[in-house]
Amino acid sequence: MTATDTSTGTIAPTTLAPKPRGGLAQSVHDSLVIARRNLIRMKRIPEIVVFGLIQPVMFVLLFAYVFGGSIAVDGSTDPKMFREFLMAGIFAQTVTFATAGSSAGIAEDMTKGLIDRFRSLPMDRGAVLTGRTIADLVQTTLTMVVLIIVALMVGWRIHNGIPKALAAIGLMLLLGYAFTWIGALIGLSVRTPEAATSAGLIWLFPLTFVSNAFAPTSGMPTWLQHIADWNPFSATVQAGRVLFGNPGVSQSDAWPMQHPVWASLFWSVLIIVVFRTLAVRKYRSATA
């Protein structure tokens, strides 16, 4: 399009302003752009993916063959039964440990000034964090695929059909996505990526081990068993065992253990709502 300059009589081109998008449309578009940016970065630095795959595979092999036969499951010390009992816990641990990567990645972006460059763009503020968590979810999904193959190789099996198994994996990925928002908040709250990595892991160890992931809670002290039964991590592990048809399903009377699928959904959605709100608020104040 052109326009005539009345003062000089010359014809000058005019620029059409881009049509503004709605709030939700812009947020979704910007989040996907940021997610693509992070996925391209993972592709260019394959070490991120490779080392992310090695750790969970190592956990599977160590727990399956070192502890197999030493922990009784449903009254049996059969190593094969323990491996089937173990895998729901390993799957859930793997998706939650992605939190540390989210913390370190966001902290690194903050220290390198990348966030300042994002601020100069006409983009939704919350999209930076949403895009990062979506990219982390994609990486976690890839890790889960590899882990399932390794689990099948060491003797793990599903007994309730593919649809329920997919539902179990979906619940675990949802929990992992929820925990990446905790990681996002941690990454925004510390000064260095090193501190973010430590802060992202230090609370995960008691969360995952004070649970039903690696040993039945019936052998714990009563007060600790109550904590384990109401642990969001335990609810997802219990839901996985129920849906996979694996042994070691807890017989506790606690509501999350009696209704693990609903409990897992409830905890995951609650964590997303609370920590996404806190993380986006922290991001806006940190970059204001």
What is the pLDDT confidence band of residue 17, given thresholds at 50, 70 and 90? very low
Tokens of 51: 């080392």
List the Cα angle 49/42/180 in 5-degree steps: 75
- Residue 22 above 70 pLDDT? no
Rounded Cα distance, 44 and 288, in Å: 31
> Tens digit of pLDDT for each residue in 202-239?
899 899 999 999 888 888 899 999 999 999 999 999 99
- Residue 133 above 70 pLDDT? yes
Q: What is residue 14's predicted lDDT score, i.e. its pLDDT?
A: 43
The overall average pLDDT reported for the chain is 83
- Residue 268 above 50 pLDDT? yes
Rounded Cα distance, 135 and 49, in Å: 12
> Tens digit of pLDDT for each residue in 238-267?
999 999 999 989 889 999 999 999 999 999
Query: Residue 217 carries which DSSP code?
Result: G
Q: What is residue 13's predicted lDDT score, i.e. its pLDDT?
A: 47
- Residue 198 above 90 pLDDT? no
Q: Write the CB contacts of 42 (distance below 8 Å, at least 6 apart in sequence).
A: 48, 49, 135, 139
Domain boundaries, given as residue ranges, for the chain: 24-286
Percent of the chain scoring above 70 in pLDDT? 87
> Tens digit of pLDDT for each residue in 37-55?
878 877 777 776 777 778 7
> Tens digit of pLDDT for each residue in 274-287?
999 999 888 877 65
Q: Which residue has the higher pLDDT, 173 or 102?
A: 173
Query: Residue 77 carries which DSSP code?
Result: -
Name the packing angle between helices 260-286 and 127-153 (round to 10°).
Answer: 140
Q: What is residue 23's predicted lDDT score, i.e. its pLDDT?
A: 67
Q: What is residue 18's predicted lDDT score, i.e. its pLDDT?
A: 42
> Tens digit of pLDDT for each residue in 72-120?
787 777 778 888 898 999 999 989 988 888 888 888 877 777 666 776 6
Q: What is residue 33's predicted lDDT score, i.e. its pLDDT?
A: 82
Q: Are 177 and 90 in contact (CB under 8 A)?
A: no
Q: What is residue 278's predicted lDDT score, i.e. its pLDDT?
A: 93
Beta strands in 62-175 (DSSP E): none
pTM for this model (two decimals): 0.84
Q: Are 108 and 101 in contact (CB under 8 A)?
A: no
